[in-house]
Amino acid sequence: MVESPPALHDIVPDFSAAMTSEQTFRLQDYRGRNIVLYFYPKDNTPGCTTEGIRFRELYPEFQQANTEIVGVSRDSLRSHESFRAKLAMPFQLISDPDESLCNLFNVIRSKTMYGKAVRGVDRSTFIIDASGRLVKEWRGVKVPGHVDEVLEFVKAIH
């Protein structure tokens, strides 16, 4: 396991993870394409649903910019399959129940929920370019306008 998250402009270490549609995500399989890797807290919650819908709406434009979208949360594959179907998402979701990807990208944070300290995913988005380099990251993402900003960035590097 990598001890520190990749820094901007570093090559992201190859990784693989279980994803929806009974597929395995392998970073190396996407060389030659940009990747939007977006981490979100939980399936079927308001902010995550809004974000997923916006990625779905703009998916054709991401594809035109040689970019694949992949969502990541700690939810199970079963939960992901239901969430994908409900939102008609054209892209895959990675299940990270052991937090290995969350740890690689350092997106687990202590949060306060209903007065209790909990560990949760800090909504974050990473752009890995066609050569496998981390070229952009957004942390502590607020959903409104975010997906549009991500699209503008990938269009600029296309």
Q: Report, as residue numbers or ranges, the catalytic residues.
A: 48
Whether the Cβ atoms of residue 37 and residue 72 lie closer than 8 Å to each other? yes
Please state, in angstroms and rounded to a whole number, the distance separating the CA atoms of residues 8 and 21: 31
DSSP-assigned letter for residue 97: T
Question: Which residues share a beta bridge with 116?
Answer: 113
Cα Rg of the chain (Å, integer): 15
Where are the alpha helices (H) located in 35-96, listed in sequence order? 46-64, 77-87
